């Protein structure tokens, strides 16, 4: 467990980014956070390889994920640290964490507890719709649902909690 008072920036064990050689071919984690202090994270199901979601981590979310082997993200809509599964029980147990060549993107391979779903809409993957290719100008591209049914009922799981999807 990471203690709750674990918030001081200078205790996070990330290396400074000094040279391209170090970042691309070195052995130290030296993540690059964007102007908002975030790094994008693609999360896939460790067994099937299915893409579950795209999330963002701030420094603390990344470090808590490393320290606990449970996926933590920064919720941009709610502006708070988000331990995945805190409300739903659908915790993402991290099997493997990868960082890309220039260390500005994370890939988590996870096992999801409970029903195995990762999407707040109730689907297994956030990417539950496929976009029809070969479209025409002036004609709205159509979407096809790729999962036959929701894995869980979001109303039942989240109750009256505000929907994180914003227009
Ligand atoms: Zn989703």
pLDDT number for residue 10: 58
CA of 128 to the centre of ligand 1 (A): 9
Give the tens place of pLDDT for each residue, 89-100. 899 999 999 999
Evaluate the CA torsion angle 119, 36, 10, 3 in order and state its sign: negative
CA of 123 to the centre of ligand 1 (A): 7
Q: What's the predicted TM-score (pTM) here?
A: 0.89
- What are the distances in angstroms from CA 124 to CA 30, 32, 118, 134, 147? 32, 29, 5, 27, 8
Long-range pairs for 57-64 at CB < 8 Å and ≥24 separation?
Answer: 57/106, 58/33, 59/9, 59/12, 59/14, 59/33, 60/6, 60/7, 60/12, 62/31, 62/106, 63/2, 63/6, 63/12, 63/13, 63/14, 64/2, 64/6
pLDDT < 70 stretches in the chain: 1-10
CA of 125 to the centre of ligand 1 (A): 7
Domains and CATH numbers, the chain: 9-154 (3.10.20.810)
Beta-carbon neighbours within 5 Å of ion ligand 1: 119, 126
pLDDT number for residue 160: 86
CA of 10 to the centre of ligand 1 (A): 33
CA of 27 to the centre of ligand 1 (A): 33
Name the 3-class secondary structure at 59. helix
């Amino acid at each position: 467990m990471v203690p709750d008072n674990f918030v001081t920036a200078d205790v996070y064990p990330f290396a400074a980014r000094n040279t391209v050689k170090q970042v691309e071919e070195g052995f130290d984690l030296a993540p690059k956070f964007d102007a908002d202090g975030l790094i994008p994270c693609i999360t896939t199901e460790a067994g099937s390889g299915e893409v579950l979601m795209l999330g963002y981590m701030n420094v603390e979310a990344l470090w808590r994920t490393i320290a606990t082997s449970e996926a933590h993200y920064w919720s941009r809509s709610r502006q708070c640290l988000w331990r995945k599964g805190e409300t739903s029980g659908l915790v993402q147990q991290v099997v493997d964490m990868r960082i890309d060549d220039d260390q500005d993107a994370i890939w988590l391979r996870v096992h999801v507890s409970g029903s195995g779903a990762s999407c707040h809409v109730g689907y297994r993957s956030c990417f539950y719709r496929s976009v029809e290719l070969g479209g025409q100008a002036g004609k709205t591209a159509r979407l096809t649902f790729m999962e036959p049914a929701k894995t869980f009922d979001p109303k039942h799981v989240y109750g009256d909690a505000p929907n994180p999807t914003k227009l």
